[in-house]
Chain A
Amino acid sequence: MLCRAAVRGLLPAGSCRRVAAVRAAHMGQTDLHDEKSLEKPELRPLYMDVQATSPLDPRVLDRMLPYLVNYYGNPHSRTHAYGWESEKAMEKAREQVASLIGADPREIIFTSGATESNNVAIKGVARFYKSRKKHIITTQTEHKCVLDSCRSLEAEGFQVSYLPVQKNGLLDLKVLEKAIQPDTSLVSVMTVNNEIGVTQPVADIGYLCSSRKVFFHTDAAQAVGKIKLNVNQMKIDLMSISGHKIYGPKGVGALYVRRRPRIRLEPLISGGGQERGLRSGTVPTPLAVGIGAACEVSQQELEYDHKRISYLSQRLVKNIMNNIPEVVLNGDPEQRYPGCINLSFAYVEGESLLMALKDVALSSGSACTSASLEPSYVLRAIGADEDLAHSSIRFGIGRFTTEEEVDYTVNKCIQEVKRLREMSPLWEMVQDGIDLKSIQWTQH
């Protein structure tokens, strides 16, 4: 609470002009709550932000613990049993990751997370083929680490096309086809968007890229283990995977790199030549075992989880939509992963709603940008109005979410949106039939 207020204090007044009064009223109220809570035992908020990170599955922790306790050998040590047992565990984990995406274990390299995987894939391919190919294609709604990798390549002299997406958040294949040049080396399009949950037509993009002899990378951090993916059926050449988005440990990820036809990469990290020379540095055995176990559990539970998450997701969206007018679901209503729901509550500022919903851990977008009050660039890229982009909240439903949690969140949400709207002069004007777009706001 304090932290949020502090962040806010540092920002220029103009960025939050509309709700300053609302916020002041609200802050007074929460302070009262805080005083009361001193007498009662602390209660933790519900967790509804699984896109940021997911809790560790107990089955995963169970597999990891032996490698944090007794089996501490360096998996690259070839001269003794400590090394061999760790190596065996690491290779089993590699098989588990490969099996989930229909790959060969030799095509998986362990990294520190999806951010590193994305960096290696994009910079690695671009730099390796730079003598002949200098063009890269991505979309405007990619994760920050993809966009930033591309920015740094631009500084090195590469040309990057940041393709716009349609209003529903999906990439138009015709736009992609037109953007491919003879010197395009790589197309990078994410599978499931981390903010609005839409699933890009990955298989179609894969076929298009392979027919045009362009490598295709997909950031599947939010998709692996949640929807069915097969790198061969979808013609994916490189795929980034994250451990902590699939109920595995933080600090580990994987990169799939196709062997046939072989994709060459320039490594980012030089050293002992581990992971086929693509990623030097000792593989952290417990974390590798963790991501392997998380992949195995996800593979077993994929259908069960998906069915349940779809049910909870429908329950959440339906109950909110039925009880609050003027709520917009951002992104395509059909082509989406149901566990990521991004709603815009018109005439309510997202940040005030987040503060009002302090009993529920939610976010207005990605965790990486949650410190800034800027509206999400993803929502702006899908053409959401500035005010709707400011009023968005992302609801994340995962394996461990319960019906009670969904209902609690829905009820709180209905209650708080109504309360905030009652305080809002804008809402009052809309109720009186005034078109807000026709008003000339004076400069602040």
Chain B
Amino acid sequence: MSSSSRALVLNLYKVLLRESQKFNSYNYRTYAIRRVRDAFREKKNVGDVHEIQSLIHRARENLQIIQRQVTIGQLYTADKLIIESSGNQ
């Protein structure tokens, strides 16, 4: 991976995690963070330029989904889960 695309991927990773953190729902938030981490870890050794490009494209699509869904979650909130009270989060 060239250094420029490496920086791009790292940046995408950070933004995805930052946006996932904003999910209001405990389950969506923890899932999004876990899924983003695991997906980047799983693909960290991909060397093929075309595959990297398509993965970047997918990550960008997912980022947009996360951003839209975070907004919706903030519009329609629910009470926190029992597990979020006792210093778990």
Contact = CB atoms under 8 A, between A and B. Distances in A.
Given A55-B27, A58-B69, A61-B69, A44 B38 contact: no
Given A62-B65, A62-B68, A404-B88, A46 B31 contact: no
Nearest to B69: A58
Nearest to B66: A58
Contact of B28 (A42, A58, A404): A58
A311 interface: no
Interface in A389-426: 399-402, 404-405, 408
B79 A42 contact: yes
B83 interface: yes
B6 interface: no
Contacts, number: 53
A44 B82 contact: yes
Given A304-B38, A402-B30, A45 B69 contact: no
Given A59-B65, A62-B68, A45 B82 contact: yes
Contacts of A359: 82
Given A61-B72, A304-B38, A400 B79 contact: no
Contact of B80 (A43, A55, A399, A400): A43
B47 to A, nearest CB: 22
Contacts of B73: 58
B83 A46 contact: yes
Interface string B15-42: 0000000010011101110010010000
Interface majority SS (helix, strand, loop, mixed), chain B: helix
A43 B82 contact: yes
A359 B85 CA distance: 12
- Among A61, A359, A400, the one with the most B-chain Cβ atoms within 10 Å of its Cβ is A400
A400 B34 CA distance: 10
A337 interface: no
A405 B26 CA distance: 11
B81 interface: yes
A47 interface: yes
Interface of A: 41-47, 55, 58-59, 61-62, 304, 359, 399-402, 404-405, 408
Interface of B: 23, 26-28, 30-32, 35, 38, 62, 65-66, 68-69, 72-73, 78-85, 88
10 contacts: A43-B84, A44-B82, A45-B82, A58-B32, A59-B62, A62-B65, A359-B82, A400-B31, A401-B27, A408-B83
Q: When A and B form their complex, which 10 residue pairs have the shortest distance between CB atoms, in order from nearest?
A: A400-B27, A58-B69, A43-B82, A42-B79, A359-B82, A62-B65, A400-B31, A44-B79, A402-B30, A44-B81
